Chain A
Amino acid sequence: MNPLVSLAALLALASAGLLLALDHDDERSRAWGLMPLLVLAPLSLVIARGQGAPIGWAPLASGLVVALLSRAREDVLHSECALKMLWVLATAFALSWAGLLLMIVVTGSSQPVEQWAALGVGLDPPLLWRMALPLGLLAGIVMVGGAPFHFWSADLLQGSRPWLGPIAVTALQVSGVAWMTQRLDAIHVYPEAASLASSILGIAAGAALLVGGLTLLWQRRPERRIGTLASLHGGLALAMLAAAHVNAGPATDLPPILARWSAHLVIALGGAASLARLVPVPVTGPSHPVALFRRHPWSGAAGLYALASLAGTPGTPGSLVWLDTARLLAASGSTTLLMALGFAWIASFVFAAGQVREAFGVATDPGLRGNPVPLTVRASLWIATIGLAGLGTLVVLGRA
């Protein structure tokens, strides 16, 4: 386990615990209210293990998320979210399993390393493995949340409780990346398959970045916008994987970059998702700031920092993640994907800058301060900011 990602997952779990304490039912004891932590902890473990997690952890993580969503039966949004996640994930896993089984039939092995070597002999007709490979990757592509599956992350962040959304989204995305990384393990020994995988991932990444960027421009609800930003990060992961498999050689520089990607995502998404619950849906023209920014402007600024980092605003740790992806794409010569990345970055940066201005709005009388925002919510914003500052420092110092 990467210590940086483990620490980030731990911070996210602490932040979720704080928000969970606020969400407890009056009729039950506080200890009972904290029970979901027992499910959130394994999800944090999935994040901490990253690409090293066993392939079976992906369906388990999906099952846990659906189970947590289904738990609040009386909550319409939660139930709807659970149903949607069940539909999309179960179908994706079924199709991917079909692909995996087809590959086993073709190659006679369940180990990806052996499969590519067997294909390299060239005895089997190419039609079968060319069908099996994209099907096998499908579950991973769905789980990272790139377009056209970018709606699930937005739905989850809007529909689920604040303590569940960020960890659930990150756990699923990290599981998706782990799924694809393990499927593509040692694929460079069979260049034809590596080329096909790179093309599929490139198309998926391009669609994720372009459609995600466009969606950000017209979306209004802050929670959904954060969900779209998360899906753009899924697009970044896809772009990294596509770039890494262009050249005939093992993708040795990818694991540390993906570790930084997941560590940043889980911290920044936690802060940004908490903030999104506190800012209003924008109206036409600038309005007055909400209570968080009137009463606790520094905590509001802390939340905005997390959002800015998620959007890749220059100077934040998030910008380094976007820059890492751009470098990989430029080095691999993926010019079209580089353009798509540029567009998505501009869209997310413009959104983040606009959100800062919308949040502070136009000046108003300081006498009207509004109701205080609970301490636990503000603490979750600060946890994200401190975590991101630490992550940025470690990356700049070259320790991560």
Chain B
Amino acid sequence: MTEIAAVRDAARIDAPSTRAIPVAKALGVTFALGGFALLWVKQMWTAALGLELFAAAFWLWSRVADDAREQVQRWAWLRRPATAMWFATAAHGVANTLGASPHGVTGGSLGALGHLESLAVIWAALELLAALPVARPYADLPGPLLGVRPWLPAALPAAGFAILWRQREHWMHVATMREVAIVLLIVTAWLGALRAFGRRQWISGLRWLLVSDSALAGVLIALGVVDPASSLLLWASAIGGRAYLLAGELRGAAPRRGQFLSRLWRLAMAVASAALAFPVLIALGTGPGGRARPLYYLAVAVPVMFAAAITTRRHIEAPERRLMVRPRAIFTLGHAMAMLSVLSALLALALAWWRGFEASLASIVLAALPVAIGCGVAMPGRELPLRESARGSARWVFRSVVDLERWLVGAVIRLVQALSAPLRDLHTGDPQEYLLFVIGVAAIALTLPLLR
């Protein structure tokens, strides 16, 4: 009888409270929404608080999930961007008290604080954009909140972009950091597109396309070729469209119901993606106001082409399996959202042009080429060469890069542990060693001043 009671008690411990679940869910939703809103406020501390709330939301959902232990560990990394943002806030606060702005200063404490601030903001944003090792494959994993699990990780690249965009004056002033960010974001766009291509499911692919597009939007900010309002609008049109598609997929593939709607969405996403990549490719290909960087152009063109091809190929009309087909409205929310996506992308380009972004005809052709090739090659009905082997290769490349990154990070950690092991062994806990420490430090204290 006692054993039965013990087993029952153990089972009760493992079962999360039924009362706690709705409270945690509601609190998590409040934190996540509040946190996301705070990311768009200009003050650095609000952005840090926003990221902290975001991390707290994921933790609250994780600790009441059925697989709580796994989920809590899976999303623990979300505290890293929050810590980085708090650090940036502190560095900025200290610099401000010195009565000067650290931006543009290269030497002394002020210069160091400026570099630290820039590094911390970039760290926070890039980690959320899957542009740093360790947490990179998060878009492959379902989120902790039941019901919107596959959709939830899509919110993270949006948070990363919000940090990059809103806090741009705190990281763009250090040229080295900006250059590093551009390279990392291009690599992320590549990996995102490859992973989207490698995954069979359209939902999984969409999550990775969100990452890829957000990384491209980050490159757009770092290059600074269009004004901030245009870059925000370009990002919103591309990401908003993909987020709607992702949400729609979880609601019975609504955006793919009907031939017209699915074609409209295919067009909308091609236009929005092309518009987002357009200024980036022009800036890198022909370099208006700067120098042309053909290698960078090629590096960006390939993921843009992949993304266009994947959307064109995979966003096909959903097969109707119901015997009794319900009548559909002629104009639905899906139609409105697709049109909004196209219009906002065009409006953003017009705004950029109005505010001084200009391009020659040759550069426009050069910028439109990757999307045109991607859409043209992958048009539904057209036979694609090397379908399965190409997908397998994409999976292999992504996995190899992630494994290599993990190995490198692990090697660094192991090296630090190996180097710090003697430090730990110094302390055996014996009282005698305290005496040795004091005498040792006294000897150092005596010799150091003499060596000056």
Contacts of B15 in A (CB 8 A): 364-365
Given the known interface contacts A214-B420, A350-B79, the answer about A330 and B109 at a Cβ–Cβ threshold of 8 Å is yes
Tally of A-B residue pairs with Cβ under 8 A? 164
Contact between chains at A131 and B16 (CB < 8 Å):
no
Partner of B89, one of A83, A130, A314: A314
Contacts of A327 in B (CB 8 A): 94, 97-98
Count chain B CB atoms within 10 A of each CB in A200, A342, A365 and give the residue with the most: A365
Contacts of A353 in B (CB 8 A): 79, 83
Contact between chains at B16 and A362 (CB < 8 Å):
yes
Q: How far is the CA of A368 from the CA of B440 in the complex (A)?
A: 53
Categorize the interface residue count of chain A. Answer: 35 or more
Contacts of B17 in A (CB 8 A): 363-366
Count chain A CB atoms within 10 A of each CB in B9, B16, B438, B448 and give the residue with the most: B438
Beyond A130-B449, A323-B94, list 5 extra A-B contacts (CB 8 Å): A149-B434, A149-B441, A214-B423, A288-B13, A314-B89
Q: How far is the CA of A387 from the CA of B440 in the complex (A)?
A: 40
B86 at interface, CB cutoff 8 A: yes
Chain A positions 141-157 with a Cβ under 8 Å from a chain B Cβ: 141-142, 148-149, 151-152
Contact between chains at B431 and A363 (CB < 8 Å):
no
Contacts of B322 in A (CB 8 A): none
Q: How far is the CA of A107 from the CA of B21 in the complex (A)?
A: 73
Contacts of B95 in A (CB 8 A): 330
A218 at interface, CB cutoff 8 A: yes
The B interface is mostly helix, strand or loop, or mixed, namely: helix
Partner of A342, one of B89, B116, B440, B446: B116
Contact between chains at B73 and A330 (CB < 8 Å):
no
Given the known interface contacts A130-B450, A346-B87, A364-B13, the answer about A314 and B112 at a Cβ–Cβ threshold of 8 Å is no
Query: Which of A47-55, A66-74, A88-96, A234-242 lies at the interface with chain B?
Result: A88-96
Closest 6 CB pairs of A and B: A134-B445, A363-B16, A362-B68, A88-B434, A365-B12, A130-B449
Contacts of B16 in A (CB 8 A): 362-365
A329 at interface, CB cutoff 8 A: yes
CB within 8 Å of A: which residues of B?
Answer: 9, 12-17, 19-21, 24, 45, 48, 59, 62-64, 68-69, 72-73, 76, 79, 83, 86-87, 89-91, 93-95, 97-98, 108-110, 112-113, 116, 420, 423-424, 426-427, 431-432, 434-435, 437-442, 445-446, 448-450, 452
Partner of A367, one of B12, B424, B440: B12
**What residue of chain B has the Cβ atom nearest to residue A94's Cβ?**
B438
Given the known interface contacts A286-B73, A362-B68, A362-B69, the answer about A134 and B98 at a Cβ–Cβ threshold of 8 Å is no
Q: How far is the CA of A200 from the CA of B87 in the complex (A)?
A: 28
Q: How far is the CA of A131 from the CA of B432 in the complex (A)?
A: 25
Partner of A84, one of B14, B90, B109, B434: B434
Contacts of A116 in B (CB 8 A): none
Contact between chains at A339 and B112 (CB < 8 Å):
yes
Contact between chains at B438 and A218 (CB < 8 Å):
no
Contact between chains at B24 and A363 (CB < 8 Å):
yes
Count chain B CB atoms within 10 A of each CB in A342, A363, A367, A368 and give the residue with the most: A363
A87 at interface, CB cutoff 8 A: yes
Contacts of A80 in B (CB 8 A): 431
A386 at interface, CB cutoff 8 A: no
Q: What 0/1 readout, one digit per residue, does chain A (235-268) give for beta carbons within 8 Å of chain B?
A: 0000000000000000000000000000000000
The A interface is mostly helix, strand or loop, or mixed, namely: helix
Contact between chains at A362 and B20 (CB < 8 Å):
no
A357 at interface, CB cutoff 8 A: yes
A333 at interface, CB cutoff 8 A: yes
Q: How far is the CA of A198 from the CA of B146 in the complex (A)?
A: 57
**What residue of chain A has the Cβ atom nearest to residue B435's Cβ?**
A87
Q: How far is the CA of A380 from the CA of B367 in the complex (A)?
A: 67
**What residue of chain B has the Cβ atom nearest to residue A142's Cβ?**
B438
Contact between chains at B448 and A200 (CB < 8 Å):
yes
A8 at interface, CB cutoff 8 A: no
Contacts of B112 in A (CB 8 A): 335, 338-339
CB distance from A274 to the nearest CB of B (A): 24
Contact between chains at B442 and A350 (CB < 8 Å):
no
Contacts of A323 in B (CB 8 A): 90, 93-94
Contact between chains at B83 and A135 (CB < 8 Å):
no
Can you report 16 A-B residue pairs in the complex whose CB atoms are below 8 A from each other?
A: A84-B434, A127-B450, A134-B448, A138-B441, A151-B434, A196-B449, A199-B448, A214-B423, A314-B86, A314-B89, A322-B90, A338-B109, A349-B83, A363-B64, A363-B68, A364-B16
Contact between chains at A138 and B72 (CB < 8 Å):
no
Partner of A131, one of B59, B427, B446: B446
Contacts of B442 in A (CB 8 A): 95, 135, 138
Q: How far is the CA of A92 from the CA of B445 in the complex (A)?
A: 12
Contacts of A363 in B (CB 8 A): 16-17, 20-21, 24, 63-64, 68
Partner of B9, one of A138, A196, A345, A368: A368
CB distance from B415 to the nearest CB of A (A): 14
Q: How far is the CA of A87 from the CA of B430 in the complex (A)?
A: 11
Contact between chains at B431 and A84 (CB < 8 Å):
yes
CB distance from B445 to the nearest CB of A (A): 4
Q: How far is the CA of A30 from the CA of B3 in the complex (A)?
A: 42
Contacts of A334 in B (CB 8 A): 109
Q: How far is the CA of A365 from the CA of B434 in the complex (A)?
A: 47
Q: What 0/1 readout, one digit per residue, does chain A (105-141) give for beta carbons within 8 Å of chain B?
A: 0000000000000000000000100110111011001
Given the known interface contacts A330-B110, A363-B16, the answer about A286 and B69 at a Cβ–Cβ threshold of 8 Å is yes
Q: How far is the CA of A224 from the CA of B113 in the complex (A)?
A: 32
Count chain B CB atoms within 10 A of each CB in A130, A134, A345, A350 and give the residue with the most: A134
